[in-house]
């Protein structure tokens, strides 16, 4: 029997995750964006630990530890170093229409919960409400990638999307098999390093990290 307290705690953490996703959507400063991303990783690790504790699934402790190291510490650290070396630590992105973006975001959350509803009913897991939250944060990260014009912000959006997917995996299924989780973690890590290489190459070529320079290849 799972104590009602853990369920409450998990719902709270899931809501926190969604809140962070909204905060990222509206955050203009690159540095704050990376801090938010680190917090999202920490919340994710905490929620995984709670699931592990309340269900007795021991392998989830490992994935919680992996999440903490990779997503709350290592990836933010890599990104932080990158923005220092690229000298864009204090960059502020000009975004138009933050209120509209937020409204679209709210719409996406509603869609996500509707989409997740039939599946949540099938879930016997304690975290069944969380699937809606997970899908909502995936969609919000997706929206963030579409609305941003800076390469770094797009990559943070991409990684935040992966966080949402990871939350879906823990909430719906108590985590994927360990070998798959390790593989995914490796892909994400290598991906971030390659993104880092790209930042330098893009800057070298275009003198800026604004991806509006990367919209030349169009069909006539």
Residue ranges binding other proteins (CB under 8 A): 57, 115, 118-119, 122-124, 138, 142, 145, 151, 154, 158, 161-162, 165, 168-169, 172-174, 176-180, 183-184, 186-187, 190-191, 194-195, 197-198, 201-202, 205-206, 211, 213-217, 219-220
* Closest CB to other proteins among residues 110, 197: 197
Asked if residue 141 lies in contact with residue 158, where contact means CB atoms within 8 angstroms, the answer is yes
* Closest CB to other proteins among residues 8, 190: 190
Q: Torsions phi, psi of 92, nearest 5?
A: -120, 130
Asked if residue 191 lies in contact with residue 161, where contact means CB atoms within 8 angstroms, the answer is no
End-to-end, the C-alpha distance of the chain in Å comes to: 63
* Closest CB to other proteins among residues 90, 216: 216
Record the tokens describing residue 135, joined without a space: 């899908």
CB of 177 to other proteins, least distance (A): 4
CB of 176 to other proteins, least distance (A): 6
| DSSP state letter for 150 | B
The Cα 179–Cα 197 span in angstroms is 27
CB of 188 to other proteins, least distance (A): 9
């Amino acid at each position: 029997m799972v104590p009602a307290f853990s369920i409450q705690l998990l719902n709270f953490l899931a809501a926190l995750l969604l809140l962070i996703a909204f905060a990222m959507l509206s955050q203009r400063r690159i540095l704050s964006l990376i801090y938010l991303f680190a917090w999202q990783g920490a919340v994710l690790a905490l929620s995984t630990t709670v699931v592990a504790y309340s269900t007795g699934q021991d392998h989830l402790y490992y994935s919680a530890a992996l999440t903490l190291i990779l997503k709350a510490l290592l990836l933010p650290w890599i990104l932080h170093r990158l923005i220092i070396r690229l000298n864009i630590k204090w960059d502020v992105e000009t975004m138009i229409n933050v209120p509209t973006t937020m409204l679209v975001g709210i719409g996406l959350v509603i869609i996500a919960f509707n989409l997740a509803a039939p599946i949540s009913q099938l879930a016997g897991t304690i975290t069944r409400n969380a699937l809606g939250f997970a899908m909502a944060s995936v969609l919000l990260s997706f929206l963030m990638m579409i609305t941003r014009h800076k390469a770094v912000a797009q990559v943070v959006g991409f990684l935040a999307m992966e966080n949402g997917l990871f939350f879906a995996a823990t909430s719906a299924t108590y985590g994927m098999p360990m070998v798959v989780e390790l593989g995914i973690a490796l892909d994400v890590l290598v991906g971030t390093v390659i993104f880092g290489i790209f930042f330098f190459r893009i800057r070298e070529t275009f003198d800026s990290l604004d991806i509006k320079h990367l919209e030349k290849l169009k069909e006539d």
